[in-house]
Amino acid sequence: MTENRNISERSKRVARNTFMLYFRMLVLMLIGLVTSRVILRALGIENYGIYNAVAGVVVMFTLISNSISQAISRFITFELGKGGEKLRSIFNASIWVQTALSLLLIILVNTVGLWFLFNKMNIPEGRLSDAAIVMEMALLSLVVNLYSVPFNATIIAHEKMDAFAWLSILEAALKLTVALLIWLFPADGLILYAVLMAVVAIIVRFAYALYCRRHFEEARGRLKLPEAGIFRELAGFAGWNFLGSSSFVINTQGMNLLTNVFFGVGANAARGVAAQVESIVKQFATNFITAINPQITKSYASGDRDYCFTLVTKASRYTFLILLLFAVPFAFEADYLLELWLVNVPEHSADFVRLTIIGIMADVVFNPLLTLELAYGKIRNYYIATGIVAYLALPLSWALFRFTDAPVSSPYIVFAVTYLTVGIIRLIFVHRQMNFPVRAFIRELLLRCGAVCVIALSLTYAVNSLLGGSTSEVLRLICVLGTSCIAIAISSWFLVLTEGEKSFIIDRIQSLFKGKAL
């Protein structure tokens, strides 16, 4: 499709929303780096490991809620694309669904979760009672966050990314305040940390609700019993979606529990560090996807297939390049970067971080295809196929630990291979169901972006090897970061970006120099 130099209003909206999300991300990243460092030093490796392990048990039970949350987001966005006549009914039904899920999760955590904690988990002697309190506080945080999902989905569906950004920054600032309070607290701060994190969840929940009730008609009024048809439609969609979302939660949190059982809380602390890096890196990658997802769903709902498919390919391409900005420096300087950040770095953290970024790339670059599949709506066969493959990651990791001398980092490799396979299956399905242009997708993502990856890795490796161990670590880090960024930027300009995208970037730069707003 020939690109027009004139930027459409839809493209401007995506650009504005992307700008707000990256502003949000930069603030969250700075706050998150400080928060993680303060919390690790205040709690200590043992308490930090206990919190991550026990909270992981609670997060395991979100495998049901995640599927419902994704269904709510899809239905609200799709309805906006069609005209929005049933928005109030969909929002109302989503609140009732989350209420039912909350009750179910309370029962599961207080039965199965507590049994697993007291009988299977590797918790240091004398800390089981503290761990049980942490579990209850993590459950409270989870239930409160469930009620935020319909409000969060409504803000994103309406593409009000400025509000989404400021509310997220509020949450991060509150978490930093919690970290500083723990730092100032002279005694063991594990329980206090868990309690204050629950308080943060409650404050943020009311902030989301207040904004939505003031700006969106569907979020106002009294809660009524859900319409049976919409309730069944939501439940049916979420039921099949459960196969995909549950596999991801089981794999990530299940591997956290496996690590605890086989290697103890020290390894959980290292996984906690890797999870913090994963969260930051994913923020970079998913900001553009979050900004563009509503447009993918709305354009498909309105019948504009060409624009929809273009957005999907563009989102995957940009996601790959953004992730590459992290993958290349961490491949060579993970140890020193973590040392600068945390000072006292848990063992295995650097290896975990390198491998988790590879896993993110294998998973996230195919996420726009999932958005397209959800917009299509007929997801039963898709989730059966991807679910079967995705569920293999956890038993394969268990088998490696149980029957071999596999290193503690093995699950990260299993995860990456599994989700790369899932991504290929996604591509096959969207092609068969919607005639998605696979050749163009492969050419843009694998060939062009793959060439950028090879160039960036080769040049950065050459600079890193040339400087060697005799050079100052700070100077070497600066050279590695500079080389990787410049190599990715220049090679992307010549190998990846289209003429229309180059024109857009040039126009934005000229506007900035002229003092115009984005």
Pairwise pLDDT comparison (244 vs 407), residue with the higher score: 407
17-31, 114-128, 371-385, 426-440: range with highest mean pLDDT:
426-440
Which band of pLDDT confidence, cut at 50, 70 and 90, is reported for residue 5?
very low
pLDDT value of position 348: 85
Q: What is the mean pLDDT of the chain?
A: 81
pLDDT of residue 10: 63
Residue 454 has pLDDT above 90, yes or no: yes
What's the CA gap between 308 and 327, in Å, rounded? 29
The residue assigned the tokens 């126009």 is 507
Q: What is the mean pLDDT of residues 387-405?
A: 89
The answer to whether 175 and 27 have CB atoms below 8 angstroms apart is no
469 pLDDT band, cuts 50/70/90, is low
End-to-end CA distance of the chain: 26
Q: Is the pLDDT at 131 greater than 90, yes or no?
A: no
Residue 383 vs residues 88, 230, 245, 312, 363: alpha-carbon distances, Å: 28, 21, 10, 19, 15
- In the predicted model, what is the mean pLDDT of residues 89-108? 82
Note the Cα 52 to chain centre separation in Å: 17
Tens digit of pLDDT for each residue in 175-209? 888 888 877 775 667 788 888 888 988 998 889 88
- How far apart, in whole angstroms, are the C-alpha atoms of residue 107 and residue 336? 44
Does the model's pTM come out above 0.75? no
**DSSP string for residues in 184-243:** H--S--HHHHHHHHHHHHHHHHHHHHHHHHHH-GGG-S---PPPHHHHHHHHHHHHHHHH
Distance, CA of 426 to CA of 386 (rounded, Å): 8
pLDDT per residue as tens digits for the range 200-237:
889 988 898 899 888 888 877 777 766 767 777 777 77
If one compares 44 and 308, the residue with the highest pLDDT of the two is 308
More confident of the two residues 57 and 368: 368
Give, as one character, the DSSP assignment of residue 125.
Answer: T
**Cα–Cα distance measured from residue 351 to residue 330, given in angstroms and rounded to the nearest whole number:** 10
Confidence category of residue 112, pLDDT binned at 50, 70, 90: confident
